[in-house]
Amino acid sequence: MGLNKVESKELVEAFFDEIKKSLINNEEVKLSGFGNFKILNKRERPGRNPKTGEPAIISARKVVTFKAGQKLRKKMSNILSE
Predicted local distance difference test score (pLDDT) of residue 82: 79
Predicted local distance difference test score (pLDDT) of residue 35: 96
Residues of the chain with pLDDT under 50: none
Return the CATH number at 30.
4.10.520.10
Q: Using CA atoms, how far apart are residues 32 and 14, in angstroms rounded to an integer?
A: 18
* Domain count across the chain: 1
Range of the domain at 38: 5-80
Bridge partners, 37 (sequence order)? 29, 66
Predicted local distance difference test score (pLDDT) of residue 16: 95
Predicted local distance difference test score (pLDDT) of residue 2: 86
Predicted local distance difference test score (pLDDT) of residue 81: 87
